[in-house]
């Protein structure tokens, strides 16, 4: 009874804490401006199935894709076993589903064990890639400090979780063969799990019954504690993409990469000039001055803020970025990380001030992202193409550039010359419209 009460309290506390953190994340994302992404639902669902569920874009690099697939499939399928563990914890039973499912139960748990072994291989490989092989995109400067620690902590947590699974199953195999398992009326004298039936006797076969019970319980409780710990760690980690990858891909921009969005306010002004009968719509909030482009996270759309939370920090965008490759300061990954950092700080500021933001003298532009980073971008969309979950760093860069040009009048000298030529000559070149076709007569 004590263990049941302890489990229920743990389950409630873990679930409530997770719900509180999720509410904060949703609140932060909703700080962004409105954006309609409800069009073309069939196309969006297909894209989500291929990219988020099917991991389609990951396989542009087969080796890390296969290793990631091991962890991804293991994580998804293991949730089946987690359902039983939660039921066992609440009811006080052990392996409650085995008597009803019979051979299918053995097959499923054995399959989970095989996936766990593959996940173990993937975990070791990813630890080696980050810390021994030092793959270039995984050791960039923006990953120093917490991002590197976060990645390693998750990998070590996955390693520990797998060890708990095999402690639980391996010790249970030996106990059950002796007729001493917590489980009752399970039939044939052996659980028959593919991996644990071999490593269980090899590792634990010489131990006495009491020690086996302790190991099995450590494995069981360790497993569930790791699951709840991981669940509540997610909102603080880059691994939050496990939750957000699906909605992020579903609401991705479906327009061609070369198509940029227009500022509605500027578009309406041009329409009014071209058509005197056109009446611009009234602003949604007349008391708040309209801002051109983005200086702060609240100037971005909710989808751009969702992008920042969905970033896996894998660095594929940065490794494909021609500006970064040639030594420029720009890193698309850092753009997303800085946006998320500012959004988190903005949310914490609101939490500390009863839901209202108190000016802290900082902004996304300048304090988190510099103009030098913005102007290094060639707007080639390589980062957007490379992202495994369809994040769009370029949209944030372009909106912040708009602010720099239209609000601060701080465009680079080269662009100012082009703007002058367009205004005077109707083209970027220093030739009048009358002179531009003189080459035909020469």
Enter the DSSP assignment of 189. S
Instruction: Tell me which residue of 94, 93, 90, 95 sits closest to 4, measured CA to CA.
Output: 90
| Interatomic CA distance for residues 385 and 60, integer angstroms | 11
> Which residue did the predictor score with more confidence, 441 or 114?
114
Choosing among 1.10.1060, 2.60.120, 1.10.760, 3.30.450, the CATH entry for 264-425 is: 1.10.1060
β-strand partners of 243: none
pLDDT value of position 86: 87
CB 297 within 8 A of CB 335: no
Q: Which phi and psi angles does 369 have, rounded to 5°?
A: -130, 130
Q: Is pLDDT of 285 > 70?
A: no
Q: How far apart are CA 57 and CA 59, in angstroms?
A: 5
Query: What is the percent of the chain with per-residue pLDDT over 70, rounded to a whole number?
Result: 94
Say if residues 382 and 321 touch (Cβ distance below 8 Å): yes
**pLDDT interval class at 360 (50, 70, 90):** very high
The Cα 57–Cα 64 span in angstroms is 12
Instruction: Convert the pLDDT of each residue in 54-88 to its tens digit.
Output: 999 999 999 999 999 999 888 888 877 788 888 88
Neighbours of 314 (CB within 10 A): 22
CA contacts within 13 A on the Cβ side of 108: 17
Q: Report the C-alpha dihedral over residues 224, 174, 81, 88, rounded to 10 degrees.
A: -60
Write down the residue that tokens 């707007």 correspond to: 379
Closest CA to 192 of 210, 177, 214: 177
Which letter does DSSP use for residue 299 in this model? Answer: G
Higher pLDDT, 270 or 137: 137
Show me where the domains of the chain are located. Answer: 2-30+61-238, 264-425
Average pLDDT over residues 193-215: 90
Residue with tokens 């496990």: 242
Confidence of residue 265 (pLDDT cuts 50, 70, 90): confident
Closest CA to 260 of 96, 401, 101, 105: 401
State percent of the chain over pLDDT 90.
59
């Amino acid at each position: 009874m004590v263990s049941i009460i302890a489990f229920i309290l743990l389950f409630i506390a873990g679930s409530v804490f997770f719900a509180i953190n999720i509410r904060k994340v949703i609140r932060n994302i909703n700080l962004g401006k409105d954006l309609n992404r409800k069009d073309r639902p069939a196309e969006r669902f297909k894209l989500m199935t291929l990219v988020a569920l099917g991991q389609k874009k990951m396989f542009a690099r087969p080796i890390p894709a296969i290793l990631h697939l091991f962890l991804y499939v293991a994580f998804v399928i293991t949730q089946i076993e987690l359902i039983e563990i939660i039921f066992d914890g609440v009811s006080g039973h052990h392996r409650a589903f085995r008597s009803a499912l019979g051979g299918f139960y053995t097959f499923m748990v054995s399959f989970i064990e095989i996936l766990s072994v593959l996940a173990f291989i993937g975990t070791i490989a990813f630890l080696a890639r980050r810390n021994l092989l030092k793959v270039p995109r995984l050791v960039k400067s923006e990953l120093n400090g917490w991002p590197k620690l976060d990645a390693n902590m998750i990998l070590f947590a996955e390693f520990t979780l797998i060890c708990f699974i095999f402690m639980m199953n391996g010790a249970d195999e030996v106990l059950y063969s002796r007729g001493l398992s917590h489980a009752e009326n399970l039939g044939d004298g052996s659980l028959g799990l593919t991996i644990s039936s071999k490593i269980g006797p090899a590792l634990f076969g010489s131990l006495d019954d009491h020690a086996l019970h302790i190991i099995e319980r450590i494995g069981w409780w360790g497993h569930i504690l790791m699951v709840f710990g991981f669940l509540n760690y997610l909102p603080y980690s880059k691994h939050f993409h496990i939750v957000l990858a699906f909605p992020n891909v579903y609401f991705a921009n479906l327009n061609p990469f070369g198509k940029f969005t227009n500022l509605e306010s500027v578009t309406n002004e041009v329409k009014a000039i071209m058509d005197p009968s056109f009446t611009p719509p009234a602003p949604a909030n007349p008391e708040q001055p309209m801002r051109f482009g983005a200086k702060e996270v609240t100037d971005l759309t909710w989808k751009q803020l969702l992008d920042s939370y969905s970033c896996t920090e894998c660095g594929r965008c940065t490794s494909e970025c021609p500006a970064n490759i040639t030594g420029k300061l720009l890193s698309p990954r850092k753009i997303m990380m800085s946006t998320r950092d500012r959004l988190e700080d903005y949310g914490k500021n609101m939490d500390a001030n009863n839901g209202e933001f108190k000016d802290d003298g900082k902004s996304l532009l300048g304090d988190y992202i510099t103009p030098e980073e913005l102007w290094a971008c060639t707007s080639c969309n390589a980062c957007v193409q490379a992202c495994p979950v369809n994040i769009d760093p370029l949209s944030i860069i372009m909106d912040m550039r708009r602010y720099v040009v239209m609000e601060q009048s701080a465009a680079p000298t080269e662009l100012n010359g082009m703007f002058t030529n367009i205004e005077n000559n109707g083209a970027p070149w220093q030739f009048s419209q009358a002179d531009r076709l003189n080459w035909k007569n020469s």
